[in-house]
């Protein structure tokens, strides 16, 4: 592709490059630059890509796209926004594949993953669509599963994924859209047929600084949507929708155009009536927990905006399975229950504990930690919620990253200290799980919170294998041999 074609719709402030030259690839990481590439220097959250222009030149970059003119005299194009330029370059390179499909974006603190999976199911089985999925657990092209590193990929990889989906015959894409992705323009230029806001609670304040800014980041999604759907019961609903330029519809239990009524919670799922404009549809979802009602209502509201009736959505939801790492039951032969859940925020911890309280006959035991290099302010809050809602707490490590695990735990403990809830600290997560199983009583429900679908633990900059299902299975096998 010629450089000029690759730069279509990218504002150029100045250049000394030949716009007719052929470009053979695009890179924004100098370590992955190949001869003939256009290297795009990003002003990053942690580092400035302009520092790596010399390395990209050494690797054979044909031209550099940047915000600050390089001093080496080599070919460059200067623009005012390299992140926006990367997103547009991706659209140009791959032929704007998102424009060939119906795009649906889901944002919010909790519920994004389950919502996207359920909505994918509804669109496939009720509308006959072939659906691509992008999210925290994994990416999917129809039924094909692809590994993912982050909730929303960088913009160029995202466009490559869209092209793969479009070429495979996908008619729709349902994707989680993180606040980071919105702020860092990973989804810039994408027009969503529908956008869905689930809820907002404290998370990622290490990046956003305040809840107001975090909410503002989420609200950016509706600026790229043809239609918006939002949770009217959420305290931040007015702020999220305040400046939305698209038509909006709402859902909720207390407020909203689509209302969940006559809610019945059980060990194996939820039942409720979905009501809108005089129509009442009975709904069954085989995922336990009060939050499942909100997830299902959001799915039904979004699907309705895409042409699927409430009755058809309900028919599919009745048959839908749960999502890995979301209130996932781990097989154990004992008289207790083990659940794995990806609860990593105060609100998520509260939701999963409330869910278990609905059906637990014995003690509710929660094991959790907090991620390193992330919002420290939520740590004592999570400890306080655990102390208030659980009968026993095991405080351990999550993904410590570059922090000392003991320091993270020390931030959690003020929320537990001075309460009547018994707790224990076991820093090593595997040993903590074994401790919880060792001390399990009849009818206990043990929640392993924080890892969910993840099969690794990040220590320093290293990913170490850690699948909690395997830890539990190994423990059970070991005790069978001893019996």
Rounded Cα–Cα distance for residues 88 and 6 (Å):
9
B/e letters for 204-224, b = 16+ CB within 10 Å, e = fewer, are bbebbeeeeebbbbbbbbbeb
Rounded Cα–Cα distance for residues 126 and 314 (Å):
10
* Predicted local confidence at residue 150, as pLDDT: 64
Residue 138's pLDDT band (boundaries 50, 70, 90)?
Answer: confident
* Predicted local confidence at residue 204, as pLDDT: 47
Residue 209's pLDDT band (boundaries 50, 70, 90)?
Answer: low
Q: 129 or 137: which carries more pLDDT confidence?
A: 129
What tens digit of pLDDT does each residue of 454-475 get? 999 999 999 999 999 999 999 9
Rounded Cα–Cα distance for residues 281 and 298 (Å):
15
CA 3 from centre of chain: 35
Residue 33's pLDDT band (boundaries 50, 70, 90)?
Answer: very high
The percentage of the chain sitting over the pLDDT mark of 90, rounded to a whole number, equals 77
pLDDT over 70 (residue 178): yes
For the residues 418-424, what does the mean pLDDT come to? Answer: 97
Residue 173 sits at φ, ψ, to 5 deg, of: -130, 125
* Predicted local confidence at residue 347, as pLDDT: 84
User: What is the C-alpha end-to-end distance of the chain, expressed in Å?
Assistant: 68
Q: Report which of 103, 85, 102 is spatially closest to residue 176, judged by C-alpha positions.
A: 103
pLDDT over 60 (residue 7): yes
User: What value, to the nearest 5°, has the Cα angle with vertex 337 and ends 465 and 458?
Assistant: 20
* Predicted local confidence at residue 41, as pLDDT: 96
pLDDT over 50 (residue 208): no
* Contacts of residue 20, Cβ cutoff 8 Å, sequence gap at least 6: 2, 3, 4
Does residue 414 sit in helix, strand or coil?
A: helix
What tens digit of pLDDT does each residue of 71-81 get? 898 999 999 99
Neighbours of 349 (CB within 10 A): 27
For the residues 260-268, what does the mean pLDDT come to? Answer: 87
For the residues 2-21, what does the mean pLDDT come to? Answer: 97
């Amino acid at each position: 592709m010629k450089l000029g074609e690759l730069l279509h719709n990218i504002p150029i402030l100045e250049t000394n490059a030949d716009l007719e030259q052929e470009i053979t690839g695009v890179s924004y990481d100098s370590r992955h630059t190949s001869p003939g590439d256009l290297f795009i220097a990003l002003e990053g959250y942690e580092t400035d890509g302009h520092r790596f222009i010399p390395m990209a030149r050494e690797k054979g970059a044909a031209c550099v796209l940047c915000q600050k003119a390089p001093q080496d005299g080599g070919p460059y194009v200067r623009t005012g926004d390299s992140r926006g330029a990367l997103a547009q370059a991706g659209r140009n390179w791959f032929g704007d594949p998102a424009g060939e499909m119906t795009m649906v974006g889901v944002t919010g603190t909790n519920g994004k993953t389950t919502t996207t999976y359920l909505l994918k199911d509804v669109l496939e089985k009720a509308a006959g669509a072939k659906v691509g999925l992008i999210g925290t657990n994994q990416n999917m092209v129809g039924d094909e599963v692809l590994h993912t590193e982050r909730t929303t990929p960088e913009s160029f990889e995202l466009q490559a994924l869209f092209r793969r989906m479009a070429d495979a015959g996908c008619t729709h894409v349902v994707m989680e859209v993180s606040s980071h992705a919105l702020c860092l323009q990973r989804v810039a230029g994408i027009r969503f047929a529908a956008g869905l806001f689930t809820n907002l609670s404290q998370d990622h304040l290490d990046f956003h600084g305040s809840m107001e800014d975090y909410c503002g980041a989420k609200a950016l999604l509706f600026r790229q949507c043809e239609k918006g759907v939002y949770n009217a019961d959420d305290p931040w609903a007015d702020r999220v929708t305040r400046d939305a330029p698209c038509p909006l519809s709402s859902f909720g239990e207390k407020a909203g155009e689509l209302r969940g009524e006559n809610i019945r919670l059980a060990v194996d799922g939820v039942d409720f009536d979905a009501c809108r404009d005089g129509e009442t549809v009975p709904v069954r979802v085989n995922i336990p927990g009060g939050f499942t009602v909100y997830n299902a209502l959001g799915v039904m509201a979004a699907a309705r905006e895409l042409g699927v009736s409430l009755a058809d959505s309900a028919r599919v939801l009745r048959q839908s399975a749960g999502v890995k790492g979301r209130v996932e039951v781990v097989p154990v032969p004992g008289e207790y229950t083990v659940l794995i859940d990806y609860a990593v925020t105060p609100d998520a911890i509260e939701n999963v504990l409330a869910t278990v309280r609905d059906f637990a006959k014995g003690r509710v035991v929660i094991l959790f930690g907090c991620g390193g290099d992330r919002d420290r302010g939520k740590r004592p809050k999570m400890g306080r919620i655990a102390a208030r809602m659980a009968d026993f707490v095991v405080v351990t490590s999550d993904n410590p990253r570059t922090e000392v695990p003991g320091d993270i735990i020390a931030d959690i403990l003020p929320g537990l200290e001075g309460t009547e809830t018994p707790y224990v600290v076991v820093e090593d997560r595997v040993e903590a799980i074994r401790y919880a199983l060792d001390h399990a009583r009849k009818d206990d429900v043990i929640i392993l919170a924080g890892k969910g679908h993840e099969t690794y633990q990040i220590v320093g900059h290293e990913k170490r294998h850690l699948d909690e299902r395997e830890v539990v299975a190994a423990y059970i096998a070991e005790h069978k041999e001893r019996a």
